[in-house]
Each structure stands twice: as structure tokens, then as C-alpha cells.
């Protein structure tokens, strides 16, 4: 399973949000500060790791399918 890592520069922290420059191209992203590691401040460099999870994907699909089935049953009962 492929894992992707990117370097993140914390450009600014403004109240509850932070502005990040992601990767070599410095793509600008604004996120809630609550998603960052505790103590994150302007000028910090973070490493972001992304990895797909097939287990979580399957689980999510099953949950959504169950909800859609329940909604379909409700719609059938109200007709």
C-alpha cells in the first residue's frame, strides 16, 4: 500500500484557523487549528502522511448501504 508524505509549512495562525503551505509547490490550505498537533505555531514545519484504508472504505460503504436500505424501507412504508 502506497503512503504519501508531504512537508507542510505553517504560514500563519489566526485564531481558530491556520494557513498551511503544502508540498514543494506550496499549495495554500486553510484548516482549523484543532486539526493540528498541539502547540503548532507559525513557522513550524510538519510532515503529513496519507494512506488509503481499504478496511475503512469497506466499512463506510456497508454503513451507507445500510442507511440507504433503511431510507428505502421508510419511503416504501409511507407510500
Residue 79 has pLDDT above 80, yes or no: no
**Of the candidates 17, 19, 3, the residue with the CA atom closest to the CA atom of residue 52:** 3
Residue 78 has pLDDT above 80, yes or no: no
Domains of the chain are 3-78 (2.40.50)
In this prediction the pTM is 0.70
pLDDT at 21: 98
Q: What is the pLDDT of residues 29-76, one digit of tens each?
A: 999 999 999 999 999 999 999 999 888 889 989 888 888 888 877 667
Higher pLDDT, residue 72 or 23: 23
Query: What string of DSSP letters covers 5-50?
Result: EEEEEEEEEETTEEEEEETTTTEEEEEEGGGSPTT--TT-EEEEEE
Amino acid at each position: 500500500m502506497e503512503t504519501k508524505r508531504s512537508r507542510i509549512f505553517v504560514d500563519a495562525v489566526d485564531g481558530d484557523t491556520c494557513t498551511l503551505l503544502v508540498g514543494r509547490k506550496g499549495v495554500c490550505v486553510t484548516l482549523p487549528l484543532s486539526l493540528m498537533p498541539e502547540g503548532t505555531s507559525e513557522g513550524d514545519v510538519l510532515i503529513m502522511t496519507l494512506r488509503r484504508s481499504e478496511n475503512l472504505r469497506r466499512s463506510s460503504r456497508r454503513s451507507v448501504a445500510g442507511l440507504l436500505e433503511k431510507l428505502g424501507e421508510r419511503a416504501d412504508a409511507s407510500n
